[in-house]
Amino acid sequence: MSAASSTKAPSSPAGSAGPKASKASRRRQSDTDPLTLALAPPPNESMQERTERLALAATAAQTSRAIDEALLQEKRALDKKKEDVKILLLGQSESGKSTVLKNFRLRFTPEYFDSERAAWKIVVLLNLISSIRTTVNTIQAELAAPEFTLVSPQHAQLCTELQPLLHQEETLVSLIAVSPHFTDPGEALVRPGGAWKRVLAESDEARAAAAIVHELREEIEALWADTAVRELLEKRGISLKDGGGYFMDDIHRVTALDFVPTDSDILRARIKTLGVEEHFFEKEAAAPGTKGVKDFWIYDVPGSRGSRAAWIPFFDMVQAIVFLTPLSFYEVLEEDTRVNRLEDSVVLWKEICSNKLLEACSIILFFNKMDILKAKLKAGLIVREYVTSFADRPNTYAGATGYFKEKFRAYHKRLSPQPRAFFYYETTAVDTRSTAKIIGTVHEEIFRRHLKDSILI
C-alpha cells in the first residue's frame, strides 16, 4: 500500500503541472498572434471608446454579411442566367432589330412596355423635329443657290419661325446623348439600358420642349402641306418616310399636349444605341396570351460593319439567333455606298451559318420590311435590273421572295456544320398584329428545342 502510494504521489504534481504549462504556452502564442493583437482592445480603453469600437465592429460585420449576401445573390443570378434561354438578334444596321425587340417586349412584357410610353412620346417628338430640321436645311440650301425656283422668301420666313423648335432638339439630345462627338446633327446616340428613358420621362426640359412643339404645330403643318416643299424634297432625293418622317403625316395628333404614343408609334420611333443591349424577359403573370412563357434573354448587338466584332463573344452562349435582312437589293449601305445591302446580308448569313460555335444553335431568318418591297414592286421596280441572276422569273412579290428564300436556304443547308432545320418568316416589324403571331411561334419553337436539348443532355 505504501509502495503504491509512493509511486502515485509524484505523478499528481506532474499531472497538474501539464495543463498549466499548456495554458501558459497558449497565452504566450496569443500574445504574438497578429489577428489576436488586431482584435484586442487598446490599453487603458475608456467605456466610451469601448462602446464606439464595438459599434464600429458591429457595422463592419453587418457590411461584411451584406457583401456576402450580394455575392451569393449574384452567383445565383449567374447560375440562373446560364440555364435561361438566350436569343441573339443579328443583322446589318437598319435591318429592324430594334423594332423586333420592341415587338418581343410588347408580346411578353406588356406592363413594362406600357411603363415606357412617356419616354417614347419624347422620342416621337425628336423624330418629328429631326424631319423638320432636314426640311428646313433643304429649303435653306435651295435659297442659297444662285437661282432658286421652288421656294420663296415666304419659305425663309417660315424656317425662321421654326428655329425655336430646332433649339429644343438640341436641348433634348444633350439630355440623353452619349457624347456630341458620337452624335450626328439632330440625332441622339444613347447608351444601352433604360437610363435615358427615365431622363426623358421625368425631365422638366422634355416637358417644356413638348409644349413648344405644341405651340408651333400650325407652322409645322404649313411647312409639310406646302407642295413646293414636297417637290423640293423629291428633287433632292430626300424621303423622310424612310427615316423618322412617318410622324409628319400625323402632326396634329403627335403634337397634342395629351399625346400618348400608340404601340405602332413606339415601334416606328427611332433612336440609335451605342453598344450591346441586354434585355431580360421575365414572365408577367397577368399578361394575356403568354401562357407557358419562360424567362429568357435577348441580346441586341450593333449592326454596323465596324461593330461586328462585338458579336463573337455571344456565339458560345446563345440557343437561337434571329437574323434579320430586308430584301433591299436596290440600296447600298449608308456607311459604305460601295456595298449593296442585300449582298452584305448574304455575306453575314454565310458567316453565321458556317460558324462552328453556332453549330447547335437554331438560326431563324426574318425577311423584314416586306411592306417596303411590296410598295417598290408596285411602283415598277424591276428585280433583274439589280439582280441579274433573277433572270426571267415573275417580277412579283411571290417571285422575288421565293427566289431569295431558296438562295438563303441553300447556303444554310450547304454551310451548316451539321444538319439543322431552316426557319424562315416574312415580316413587317411595324405591323404589331402579324409580327406578334410570328414572334409567338418563334418563341414556342425555341423553347421546345431548348427543352428537348436539355432532356438529351
For residue 94, is it left (φ>0), alpha (ψ between -120 and 50) or beta?
left
CATH fold label, 88-109+282-457: Rossmann fold (3.40.50)
How high is the pLDDT of residue 376?
92
Cα–Cα–Cα angle for 141, 147, 151, nearest 5°? 55
**What b/e readout covers 66-84, taking b as 16+ CB neighbours within 10 angstroms?**
eeeeeeeeeeeeeeeeeee
Q: For residues 238 and 380, which has the higher predicted lDDT (pLDDT)?
A: 380
Q: Is the pLDDT of residue 235 over 80?
A: yes
Q: Which of 88-92, 236-240, 273-277 shows the highest mean pLDDT?
A: 88-92
| Helix runs in 313-396, H state only | 341-354, 370-378
Across 433-444, average pLDDT: 82
Contact 362, 421 (CB under 8 A): yes
* Length of the chain (residues): 457
Do the beta carbons of residue 219 and residue 158 sit within 8 Å? yes
> Above 70 in pLDDT, residue 8?
no
What's the grid cell of residue 232?
Answer: 423640293
What is the model's pLDDT at position 180? 56
Q: Quick one: pLDDT at residue 424?
A: 92
Q: Does 167 have pLDDT greater than 60?
A: yes
Residue 220 and residue 132 in contact, taking contact as beta carbons nearer than 8 Å: yes
Instruction: With a cut of 80, say whether residue 168 has pLDDT above it.
Output: yes
Question: Each residue of 317-342: pLDDT tens digit?
Answer: 788 899 999 998 998 887 788 888 99
| The CATH homologous superfamily of the domain defined by 116-276 | GI Alpha 1, domain 2-like (1.10.400.10)
At residue 15, the pLDDT reads 46
Q: Burial of 270 by CB count in 10 Å (0-12 exposed, 13-18 middle, 19+ buried)? A: middle
**Segment 103-157, tens digit of pLDDT:** 988 888 899 899 999 999 999 999 999 999 999 999 999 988 877 788 888 999 9
pLDDT tens digits for range 304-313: 777 777 777 7
pLDDT of residue 296: 85
Structure confidence at residue 414 (pLDDT): 96
Q: What is the pLDDT of residue 294?
A: 67
Cell numbers standing for residue 179: 457624347
Residues 325 and 424: their CA atoms lie apart, in Å, by: 11
Q: 134, 128, 137: which is closest to 248 by C-alpha?
A: 128
Beta partners for 89? 300, 322
pLDDT value of position 22: 55
Nearest to 219 by CA among 144, 139, 141: 139
Tell me the per-residue pLDDT of 43-89, one tens digit each, with 9 for 90 and over.
Answer: 787 888 888 888 888 888 888 888 877 766 665 555 455 567 888 99
Which residues belong to the annotated binding site for Mg(2+)? Answer: 98, 273
Alpha carbon distances (Å) from 409 to 197, 266, 297, 316, 364: 39, 33, 27, 23, 11
Query: pLDDT tens, 242-301?
Result: 555 789 889 999 999 999 999 999 999 988 888 888 888 876 554 455 444 468 888 888
What pLDDT score was predicted for residue 445?
A: 80
Parse the chain into domains and list their residue ranges.
88-109+282-457, 116-276
pTM, entire model: 0.75
Q: How far apart are CA 367 and CA 314, in angstroms?
A: 23
Residues flagged as binding site for GTP: 94-99, 267-273, 368-371, 429
12 — pLDDT class (breaks 50, 70, 90): very low
pLDDT value at 11 more than 50: no
Rg (CA), the chain: 34
What angle do the packed helices 153-161 and 163-176 form, to 10 degrees? 40
Binding-site residues from annotation: 94-99, 267-273, 368-371, 429
134 or 33, which is more confident: 134
How does strand 296-300 pair with strand 277-281? Answer: antiparallel
Is there a contact between 402 and 419 (Cβ–Cβ < 8 Å)?
no
Is residue 385 scored above 70 in pLDDT?
A: yes
Residue 247 neighbours by CB distance under 10 Å: 24
